[in-house]
Chain A
Amino acid sequence: MKKIMTYSFLAALFLVVSCSKGDSERFKLLTGPTWVPVSLLANGVDATGTGGLLAGFVGDAKFNTDGTGTFGTYTGTWMFDANEEKIIIGSASLPISITLNITELTSTSLKLQGSFPDPNNLTGPPINIEMTFRTK
């Protein structure tokens, strides 16, 4: 009985010390290139004009490996969610963080989808946004 308990203890200890983790493939895909916007759409319509909902996102997007980044005119931080299927962007220039679904991430293309509250009707239905990027 005592031996069994001792061996169990040692086996479990071995299990504990044999774990490691590295950067994921999606992390490398996202942080490798500089991204340029192909289209920034709000409810299917271009929203990059003066005063447009996504005008601030016009410009290069770079997701740095240290969690910082530039997203058009915004600078701030980014992070994946647990499954690396969403990206959370925070910036001092944004009143609150934005979480977007990553609908496509390849070595050449990045597509983000999410929703924005309608500035003219905060309690109304949100505006659907779609942001498509390609590598620079």
Chain B
Amino acid sequence: MMQSFISVLLFLITAFAANAQENGIIRGRITDLNSGEPLPGVYVIYGKNLGTTSNEDGYYQISPAAGHVSVTFQFIGYESVTRDLSIGRGETTELNVGLEMKIREIDQIVVSADKVEKRIAELSVSMDVIKTSFLSENHLTDPQEIINKTSGIEVLDGQASIRGGSGFSYGAGSRVMALIDGLPMLSADAGNIKWQYIPLENLSQIEIIKGASSVLYGSSALNGIINFRTADASNIPVTQFFAEGGLYGQPKNRDWKWWDTPRVFSTVSFSHLQKSGRTDIGLGGNLFIDESYRRLNDEKLARLTLKLKHYSALTEGLTYGISFNGGYNRKTDFVLWEDAATGALKQSPSTANKYVGSFITVDPFISLKKPGRIQHDLRLRLQSTTNRLPESEQNNSDAVSLYAEYQVWARLADFMDITAGLSENYASVKSKFFNDHNSFNLAGYSQLDIRPADRLKAVAGVRVEHYSLDGESEKLVPIIRAGLNWQAAEATFIRASFGQGYRFPSMAEKFAATTIGSVRIFANPDLLSESGWSTELGIKQGILAGNIAGQADMSIFMLNNKNLIEYIFGIFPEGLGFMATNVEQARIYGLETELMLSRQYGQWQTTLSGGYTFMYPVEVNRMTGKNTDTYLKYRRKHSGIISLENSYKKFSLGLSMYIKSKILNIDDVFITTPILPGFGGYWQRHNTGYTALDLSCGYSLNEKYRISLAVKNITNTEYMGRPGDIQPPINYSIRFSGKL
């Protein structure tokens, strides 16, 4: 008996040893990517029914067959990670893995809505968050294109319109405040968004508030804000880069093709994030060259960003640092086409103007935080923009602004917090185009966050702003906002909000006087500020069913704006031409729905997202306050987006569809005058709405490198933004990217 037992034992030992000889060993430790803490209980899978779990210190060991092996690490609440490697017989390989926490959509932390960190589900306003993965998967390198592909927002030739709040104002002014890390980045002269200088290469996410946000963000946040948040360094240094090249296909209307050799575009981009001692370092850069599908519309762009953030060793909670963002741009803007028949993609030489511009921001900041008690923030932005038009130097301008903001957040009681701040913005413009001007804003704001009941949150805020231009003060602008959020069930949040907004006219709208081609523009120093309010009622529902997770959101909203500034073409005492005028009273009713569902099954992940927005935008009789039967200009009733992303092992495939109904109304000048030759007839035939499709696919060469292809406007749909602005035909791009 004893002999038999020993024989069996020897056999087992021998067999085990032989197996170990044929197998290799992989061992390592699994940690939280951000905190570095060990993660116990992580599933480590390397084949069907083969695997183990990490121990209480995060360590694991597996013994797969020698050769190529694919190991997947799965843990609830974390993004799954798969590593491919080769091991030899009897070889031991160490594989340490950091897992990144997966955040439920409704648990995402955002800062823009209330200027403090909050769960997105607990906000009282509508907010969209765009992740950087959306940018890379879809080869999006232009911020305008990114925003334009967001539900409920349209960008017409640089003019962002949230829920129909804006039309097209010929590049002057913006009713949407653009921010980089919470600080305004509108140009001091034209008051427009300098999209090309937004540092996409180093973003963590983009947050968009849909609705008046002037209480916290001041002038220009009349319809909402877009906050581009840059990334902070994590414990593990990360370097990312990509190089992309592409070309434009033939336009659907073959008569419009004017080129003999392909029109190409290319981009290279990099970013590096790392911690060095107690200092976070972020560095990024981008080069972009576009020959354009339109004649006399080429562009070259360079950007460089640097962000330094130091955590004080002497004072707990004290951080300080500085950010730098610089850009240089050479281009020819597209203004008017030659004619509709054969010249829609050819700029009229009479309006083609070469442009050379630069943009620099320097942002020092200091913050003292005592978690859960009080936080002080002092932030500055020194911003300089130059606009040079070598062929019409009378239109050059230089603008410098200094924005400073002090904000304090404090917990007044267990159920109440306060956020209060003071901000100033001094701007100086030197230009023959606008003449020389300077402005000064001084504002104070305060907001209470109240939790009167366990699942009920309320917010109430007020702002008073003083504005002076060339030493002449305008009357104080006092505005309010209020909102409620009620958690009706575990993952159901009902919200309601009201907010007022305003916008001081930009210097360009007040003072620009010039001639572009045959078009004259007159100054209007008497322009008033725009003002208005928005309100909404919404519900957000988190979804978790089996391996499907996501959220659904629905809201009804209303905007009411007065004294909206529009460029009107007409007969003025100064002659025939354009002049910015407080002409429009606007009211918009609407409904918006958004859905995001994500399903993970093993290594197969599918994400379906989309949104639909309905708007009824009408002019209001300024005397009676009643709706007229005239639609607001450059608005649409229906717009929708649906996007499907799939990934399996090393492959990814995405398809996005964009649907927009016709533009309801435009300026008569484009139809009744020969400014845009042939436009009237073209508009009658082609203003029918459109559907465009984008396709993208990618393949991960290994853990670090990836190659991807994007085909935009795959149906080669012919569609237009503002009058005369034909959008790109089908275009192809290929990208090589890396994450080291």
Q: Is residue B570 within 8 Å, beta carbon to beta carbon, of the partner chain?
A: yes
Q: Assess whether B528 is in contact with A82, with CB atoms less than 8 Å apart.
A: yes
Q: Is residue A115 within 8 Å, beta carbon to beta carbon, of the partner chain?
A: yes
Q: Assess whether B412 is in contact with A2, with CB atoms less than 8 Å apart.
A: yes
- A residues in contact with B574, CB < 8 Å: 115
Question: CA of A88 to CA of B638 in the docked complex: distance in angstroms?
Answer: 32
- B residues in contact with A1, CB < 8 Å: 410
Q: Is residue B571 within 8 Å, beta carbon to beta carbon, of the partner chain?
A: yes
In the complex, identify which listed stretch (B100-108, B265-273, B302-310, B577-585) lies at the interface while the others stay far away: B577-585
* 0/1 interface trace, chain A 87-107, chain B, CB 8 Å (1 if under): 010000001111111000000
Question: CA of A96 to CA of B575 in the docked complex: distance in angstroms?
Answer: 12
Quote the shortest CB–CB distance from B459 to chain A (angstroms): 12
- A residues in contact with B563, CB < 8 Å: 82
In the complex, identify which listed stretch (B206-214, B216-224, B333-341, B621-629) lies at the interface while the others stay far away: B621-629
A19, A66, A95, A99: the one contacting B572 at CB < 8 Å is: A99
Q: Assess whether B623 is in contact with A126, with CB atoms less than 8 Å apart.
A: no
A66, A83, A113: the one contacting B573 at CB < 8 Å is: A113
Q: Is residue B586 within 8 Å, beta carbon to beta carbon, of the partner chain?
A: no
| B-side interface mostly | strand
- A residues in contact with B668, CB < 8 Å: 95-96
Q: Kindly report which residue of chain B lies nearest to residue A27, judged by CB atoms.
A: B623
B448, B476, B579, B622: the one contacting A99 at CB < 8 Å is: B579
Q: Assess whether B526 is in contact with A8, with CB atoms less than 8 Å apart.
A: no
Count of residues in B whose CB is under 8 Å from the partner chain: 43
Q: Kindly report which residue of chain A lies nearest to residue B463, judged by CB atoms.
A: A12
A9, A97, A117: the one contacting B448 at CB < 8 Å is: A9
Q: Is residue B612 within 8 Å, beta carbon to beta carbon, of the partner chain?
A: no
Q: Kindly report which residue of chain A lies nearest to residue B410, judged by CB atoms.
A: A2
Q: Assess whether B581 is in contact with A12, with CB atoms less than 8 Å apart.
A: no
Question: CA of A114 to CA of B498 in the docked complex: distance in angstroms?
Answer: 43
- A residues in contact with B286, CB < 8 Å: none
- A residues in contact with B446, CB < 8 Å: 5, 8-9, 12
Q: Kindly report which residue of chain A lies nearest to residue B476, judged by CB atoms.
A: A15
Known: A2-B418, A16-B478, A67-B622. Contact between A114 and B572, CB under 8 A? yes
Known: A65-B623, A79-B622. Contact between A12 and B570, CB under 8 A? no
Q: Is residue B378 within 8 Å, beta carbon to beta carbon, of the partner chain?
A: no
Q: Kindly report which residue of chain B lies nearest to residue A4, judged by CB atoms.
A: B420
Q: Kindly report which residue of chain A lies nearest to residue B572, judged by CB atoms.
A: A99
Q: Is residue B464 within 8 Å, beta carbon to beta carbon, of the partner chain?
A: yes
- B residues in contact with A96, CB < 8 Å: 569-571, 576, 668-669, 672-673
Q: Assess whether B582 is in contact with A5, with CB atoms less than 8 Å apart.
A: no
- Interface residues in A37-72 (C-beta closer than 8 Å to B): 64-67
* 0/1 interface trace, chain B 443-485, chain A, CB 8 Å (1 if under): 0101110000000000010111000000000001011100000
- A residues in contact with B621, CB < 8 Å: 66-67
Q: Kindly report which residue of chain A lies nearest to residue B411, judged by CB atoms.
A: A2
- Interface residues in A1-26 (C-beta closer than 8 Å to B): 1-2, 5-6, 8-9, 12-13, 15-17, 19
- B residues in contact with A2, CB < 8 Å: 410, 412, 418
Q: Assess whether B581 is in contact with A81, with CB atoms less than 8 Å apart.
A: yes
Q: Is residue B408 within 8 Å, beta carbon to beta carbon, of the partner chain?
A: yes
B410, B420, B575: the one contacting A126 at CB < 8 Å is: B575
* 0/1 interface trace, chain B 478-508, chain A, CB 8 Å (1 if under): 1110000000000000000000000000000
Question: CA of A114 to CA of B522 in the docked complex: distance in angstroms?
Answer: 14
| A-side interface mostly | mixed
Question: CA of A67 to CA of B630 in the docked complex: distance in angstroms?
Answer: 14
Quote the shortest CB–CB distance from B418 to chain A (angstroms): 5
B447, B462, B583, B622: the one contacting A16 at CB < 8 Å is: B462
Q: Assess whether A117 is in contact with B412, with CB atoms less than 8 Å apart.
A: no
Q: Is residue B69 within 8 Å, beta carbon to beta carbon, of the partner chain?
A: no
- Interface residues in B594-627 (C-beta closer than 8 Å to A): 621-624
Q: Is residue A116 within 8 Å, beta carbon to beta carbon, of the partner chain?
A: yes
Q: Is residue B389 within 8 Å, beta carbon to beta carbon, of the partner chain?
A: no
Question: CA of A117 to CA of B528 in the docked complex: distance in angstroms?
Answer: 27
Quote the shortest CB–CB distance from A4 to chain B (angstroms): 9
Q: Assess whether B478 is in contact with A19, with CB atoms less than 8 Å apart.
A: yes
Question: CA of A55 to CA of B624 in the docked complex: distance in angstroms?
Answer: 31
* 0/1 interface trace, chain B 405-427, chain A, CB 8 Å (1 if under): 00010101000001010000000
A19, A67, A82, A114: the one contacting B571 at CB < 8 Å is: A114
Q: Is residue B81 within 8 Å, beta carbon to beta carbon, of the partner chain?
A: no
Q: Is residue B549 within 8 Å, beta carbon to beta carbon, of the partner chain?
A: no
Q: Is residue B554 within 8 Å, beta carbon to beta carbon, of the partner chain?
A: no
Q: Assess whether B583 is in contact with A79, with CB atoms less than 8 Å apart.
A: yes
Q: Is residue B657 within 8 Å, beta carbon to beta carbon, of the partner chain?
A: no
Q: Assess whether B622 is in contact with A97, with CB atoms less than 8 Å apart.
A: no
Q: Is residue B527 within 8 Å, beta carbon to beta carbon, of the partner chain?
A: yes
Q: Assess whether A15 is in contact with B576, with CB atoms less than 8 Å apart.
A: no
Question: CA of A114 to CA of B572 in the docked complex: distance in angstroms?
Answer: 7
Quote the shortest CB–CB distance from A3 to chain B (angstroms): 9
Question: CA of A126 to CA of B420 in the docked complex: distance in angstroms?
Answer: 54
Q: Assess whether A88 is in contact with B581, with CB atoms less than 8 Å apart.
A: yes
A12, A113, A126: the one contacting B462 at CB < 8 Å is: A12
Q: Kindly report which residue of chain B lies nearest to residue A96, judged by CB atoms.
A: B570
- Interface residues in B661-679 (C-beta closer than 8 Å to A): 668-669, 672-673
| CB pairs A–B below 8 angstroms (24 shown) | A1-B410, A5-B410, A5-B446, A6-B412, A6-B448, A8-B420, A8-B446, A9-B446, A9-B447, A13-B460, A13-B480, A66-B623, A81-B582, A82-B528, A82-B563, A82-B582, A83-B526, A86-B526, A88-B583, A97-B570, A100-B573, A115-B571, A115-B574, A122-B576
Q: List residues of B whose CB falls within 8 A of some A CB.
A: 408, 410, 412, 418, 420, 444, 446-448, 460, 462-464, 476, 478-480, 524, 526-528, 563, 568-576, 579, 581-583, 621-624, 668-669, 672-673
Given contacts A66-B624, A96-B570, A114-B572, 16 further A-B contacts (CB under 8 A): A6-B412, A6-B418, A8-B420, A8-B446, A16-B478, A17-B480, A19-B478, A66-B623, A83-B526, A96-B668, A98-B571, A99-B571, A114-B571, A114-B573, A115-B571, A126-B576
Closest A-B pairs by Cβ, 8 of them: A97-B570, A16-B478, A9-B446, A82-B528, A67-B623, A12-B462, A99-B572, A117-B576
